[in-house]
């Protein structure tokens, strides 16, 4: 777990012999979620000191600000099985372009959300930059629904399926190609709330799902080792998409879809430190911080701590 003044492993911050530049990219989208407020997540995470704390680790920081997102009041829901589809696609198109530009040899795109629909944009941008990308999806939910299986119509429950080539063709063909990622290179970690339809889709796709039962049975280090093997074997890059509801609500109260029995504070830090130790991480999402539901910015502060652990912060 992090201390106040940890020593930093300089190898983690360098690629090609130069200090890596972190591009902070805000994606203030709440259109994909069923509850308002998560669009303020980027502000809450920045307020928790993200940029300065990354500089203290020795990185150079470029804060790209926020992508421009059309406000939901100006759009009808349209299809109740694909709520706010068009403005979500528009926002993700902007995000994909920014992530692609921020993925140079010595650059690292850090996307702060915003609801999990933003992963459609961030991962598409990573794939355009790197080619084949493996994904570790850390979440209480699999987000593997389609418009045919969704119980809510909320698109933040669909991005991973769309990236794998399943669902409405407007989501599937986003960015002009499909699939973006192979299910063989997807590892979902921390799942404990799956819908019946998406469970069937996950099994049919042969995606790798490490539930909380698997974490309890295997131990977190072994579960993460297996997830990293899935995501980094025969791929060119590693994208981690971290939903704060993967944590137990006692640790992260400021999320829209809390589920009891989640990852603990210590497990979450260990998870991110092991990902950093792999030396393979090339891009990261941190999503679903909802300040309206939070307590004194606890969840945003924890999000910053976990980002730091993923990017090299150590006790010793």
Which residues are designated catalytic? 116, 139, 141, 143, 156, 243, 245, 288
Of 58, 54, 69, 57, nearest to 23 by C-alpha is 54
Give the Cα separation of 28 and 89 in Å (integer). 14
β-partners of residue 136 are 187, 240
Output the CA–CA distances (angstroms, integers) from residue 222 to 75, 144, 210, 262, in the order listed. Answer: 45, 24, 11, 17
Categorise residue 37: left if φ over 0, alpha if ψ from -120 to 50, beta otherwise: left
- The residue ranges of DSSP E strands in the chain, in sequence order, are 14-15, 18-19, 21-27, 60-66, 107-113, 133-138, 186-191, 208-211, 237-243, 281-287
Helix (H, G, I), strand (E, B) or coil at 96: helix
Strand partners, 188: 137, 209
Closest CA to 192 of 132, 136, 246: 246
């Amino acid at each position: 777990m992090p201390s106040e003044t940890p020593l930093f492993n300089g190898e983690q911050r360098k690629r090609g012999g130069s200090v890596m530049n972190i591009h902070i990219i805000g994606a203030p989208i709440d259109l994909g979620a069923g509850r308002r407020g998560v669009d303020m997540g980027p502000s809450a995470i920045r307020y928790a000191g993200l940029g300065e704390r990354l500089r203290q680790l020795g990185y150079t920081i470029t804060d790209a600000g926020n992508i421009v997102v059309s406000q939901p009041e100006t759009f009808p829901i349209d299809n109740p099985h694909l709520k706010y589809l068009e403005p979500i696609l528009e926002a993700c198109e902007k995000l994909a372009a920014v992530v692609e530009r921020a993925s140079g040899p010595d650059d690292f795109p850090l996307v702060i959300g915003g609801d999990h629909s933003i992963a459609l944009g961030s991962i598409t941008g990573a794939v355009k930059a790197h080619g084949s990308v493996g994904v570790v999806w850390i979440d209480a939910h699999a987000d593997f629904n389609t418009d045919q299986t969704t119980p809510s119509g909320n698109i933040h429950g669909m991005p991973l399926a769309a990236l794998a080539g399943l669902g409405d063709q407007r989501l599937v063909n986003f960015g002009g190609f499909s699939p973006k990622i192979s299910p063989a290179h997807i590892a979902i970690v921390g799942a404990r709330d799956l819908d019946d339809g998406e469970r069937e889709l996950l099994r049919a796709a042969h995606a790798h799902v490490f539930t909380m039962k698997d974490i309890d049975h295997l131990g977190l280090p072994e579960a993460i080792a297996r997830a990293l093997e899935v995501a980094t074997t025969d791929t060119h890059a590693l994208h981690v998409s971290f939903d704060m509801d993967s944590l137990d609500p006692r640790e992260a109260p400021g999320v829209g879809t809390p589920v009891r029995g989640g990852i603990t504070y210590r497990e979450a830090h260990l998870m991110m430190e092991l990902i950093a130790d792999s030396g393979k991480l090339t891009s990261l999402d941190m999503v679903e911080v909802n300040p309206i539901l939070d307590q004194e910015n606890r969840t945003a502060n924890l999000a910053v701590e976990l980002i730091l652990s993923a990017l090299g912060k150590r006790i010793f």
